[in-house]
Amino acid sequence: MSPHFLSLLLLTVQIYTFFPILKTIRTKDFICNFSYHPKIQFVMKKILLPTDFSEQAEYALRVAASLAKQNDATIYLLHMLELPSHLLSGDTNLNVPEQLLFMKIANERFEKTIEQDFMKGVKVDITVETHKAFDGITQAIRQHEIDLVIMGSSGASGLKEMFIGSNTEKVVRTADAPVLVIKNNIENFTVSNFVFASDFSKDQKLVFEQAIDFANSFHAKLHLLFVNTPSRFITTADAEKKMNDFIADFDDLTNYELHIYNDNKVETGILNFSRAIDADLIGMSTHGRQGLAHFFNGSISEDLVNHALRPVITFKI
């Protein structure tokens, strides 16, 4: 047998051996490029908790401490000083003593906060800033690469809700990280029934993986909810097909149920369904609309934050 023939035979064997691997790689590439999206895993290692030391902020802190212990996470406590207007003038030299006094008071309140029993064993990073509250929160999210924001909220109503809103509402609309909003004191934060409300359009798939990861971290049942309204009515058969097509790509979705619920408005449908099954958490995505489009169209996510008594988590698309 000639050396040339042996070389050719060896090359043929190498190509044949490598080809199945090459085929597998191309198959995976095909799935990633033409299916819904690459997997975006949700982790909870860096938790941001903006606080004004209010009762609602402490409710949020208790939940943050519970999650931090479960996930070996660090809580980034952030307080934005609401300084009197004369301290924000141009002559900073004259304002330093007063600013230092406000900083000292804030740090003393932080010391009392982290000395509470439920904070024992929790890793904490404390920051006191003089930015406007909303600006400081968005900056902290980017600076620390925050995985989850937890905020307390008392909600709003009437004209205040429509025209003024709240820092919580603004963060929900624009934050790059998921935002968990806590309204009440929760002794032991756990999630057994997690309602994820959606219209199950393709763009929702970008955040749905994070909702699955969050549910799986608690071994929770994920209740996928489609709310049918008179203004946007579709048949049950069409809704079921839409939902089943949506979840077909998610292999890690195992503990779930599909629900179609009829109500006058999407928001009330979500709240009524969640009440009916005694849900522990409501989740949905937010598009982060701003300006006039946000003002005229409103936002279901923000409505839920203002009206739901249950915890709400939002994921920005």
CATH number at residue 286: 3.40.50.620
Q: How many domains does the chain have?
A: 2
pTM for this predicted structure: 0.77
Owning domain of residue 304 = 193-316
The whole-angstrom distance between residue 80's C-alpha and the CA centroid of its chain comes to 22
Has residue 31 been placed in a domain? no
For 99-109, what is the mean pLDDT? 79
Q: What is the mean pLDDT of residues 206-234?
A: 93
In which element (H, E) is residue 249 found?
none
Taking 90 as the threshold, does the pLDDT of residue 304 lie above it?
no
Q: Does 170 share its domain with 203?
A: no
For residues 26 and 266, what is the distance between their CA atoms, to the nearest angstrom? 42
pLDDT at residue number 159: 32
Structure tokens at 114: 């982290």
Top-confidence residue, 34 or 174 = 174
Question: Do 122 and 245 have their domain in common?
Answer: no
Q: What is the DSSP letter of 70?
A: H
How far apart (Å, rounded) are the C-alpha atoms in residues 227 and 233?
9
On whether the CB atoms of residues 229 and 263 are closer than 8 A, the answer is yes
The pLDDT score that the predictor gives to residue 31 is 30
pLDDT above 60 (res 155) = no
Per residue in 254-277, pLDDT (tens digit) is 999 999 999 998 889 999 999 999
Are both 102 and 145 inside the same structural domain? yes
Are 312 and 278 in contact by the 8 Å Cβ rule? The answer is: no
CA–CA distance, 173 with 314 (Å, rounded to integer)? 9
